[in-house]
């Protein structure tokens, strides 16, 4: 059985979590429809995911990572990001609009904390400090996304 290495999913998982939360909070603040939010999540889950996966793969090749390892890492990155984004799409579809920002933020922060925990333990780093640092950075992204969404709603209404 192939063990999943944190390096294989760290980039894609983190990108999917933070991007999905930012999109949902920003688009919800901009008074976007559920259809627009799902569409944005799916487009990012595929187009941006493929672009990032290719970028990771090219970087790994430039670092002379063994071809098989680079391919597995690229594939795992893509799948991790797609699966994580799919959980947010599911939440947008099934949750009532008023619960959406809170539930998806809680879910995203839980996923980010879990991923951070796994990576911190693998590195021997202090888990609490790493989680606090990553959650703080995500909070900045969410705050800016919400501000942008609010600005869009007022500027274009």
The answer to whether position 153 is within a domain reads: no
Locate 104 and state its tokens.
């998806």
Please work out, in degrees rounded to the nearest 5, the angle formed at the alpha carbon of residue 78 by the alpha carbons of 110 and 104: 25
Q: 92-134 pLDDT, tens per residue?
A: 999 999 999 999 999 999 999 998 998 899 889 999 999 999 9
The pLDDT value given to residue 74: 83
The answer to whether position 34 is within a domain reads: yes
Q: What count of residues does the chain have?
A: 157
Task: Specify the DSSP class assigned to residue 83.
Answer: H
The answer to whether position 154 is within a domain reads: no
Q: 57-71 pLDDT, tens per residue?
A: 888 888 887 888 778
List the domain range (segments joined by +) for residue 42.
7-148
Locate 89 and state its tokens.
């799409």
3-state SS of the chain: helix, strand, coil percent to 5? Answer: 85, 0, 15
**Domains contained in the chain, number:** 1
Residue 15 neighbours by CB under 8 Å, 6+ apart: 48, 49, 52, 81
| pTM of this structure | 0.88
Task: Count Cβ atoms below 10 Å from residue 106 Cβ, excluding itself.
Answer: 12
Locate 96 and state its tokens.
């009532």
Locate 71 and state its tokens.
């391919």
The answer to whether position 78 is within a domain reads: yes
The pLDDT confidence band at residue 1, using thresholds 50, 70 and 90, is: very low
The answer to whether position 157 is within a domain reads: no
The answer to whether position 2 is within a domain reads: no
The answer to whether position 69 is within a domain reads: yes
Q: 10-60 pLDDT, tens per residue?
A: 667 788 899 999 999 999 999 889 999 999 999 999 998 888 888 888 888
pLDDT at 2 over 60: no
Tell me, letter by letter, the H, E, C secondary structure of 19-50: HHHHHHHHHHHCCCCHHHHHHHHHHHHHHHHH
- Residue 4 or residue 17, greater confidence: 17
């Amino acid at each position: 059985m192939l063990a999943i290495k944190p390096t294989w999913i760290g980039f894609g998982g983190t990108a999917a979590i933070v991007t999905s939360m930012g999109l949902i909070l920003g688009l919800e603040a901009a008074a976007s429809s559920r259809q627009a939010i799902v569409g944005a999540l799916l487009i990012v889950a595929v187009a941006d995911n493929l672009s990032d996966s290719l970028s990771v793969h090219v970087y790994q090749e430039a670092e002379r990572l063994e071809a098989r390892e680079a391919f597995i890492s690229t594939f795992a990155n893509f799948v991790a990001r797609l699966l994580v984004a799919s959980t947010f799409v599911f939440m947008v579809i099934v949750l009532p609009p008023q619960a959406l920002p809170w539930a998806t933020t809680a879910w995203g922060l839980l996923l980010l904390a879990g991923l951070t925990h796994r990576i911190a333990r693998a590195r021997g780093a202090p888990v609490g400090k790493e989680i606090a640092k990553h959650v703080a950075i995500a909070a900045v992204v969410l705050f800016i996304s919400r501000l942008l969404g609010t600005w869009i709603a007022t500027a274009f209404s």
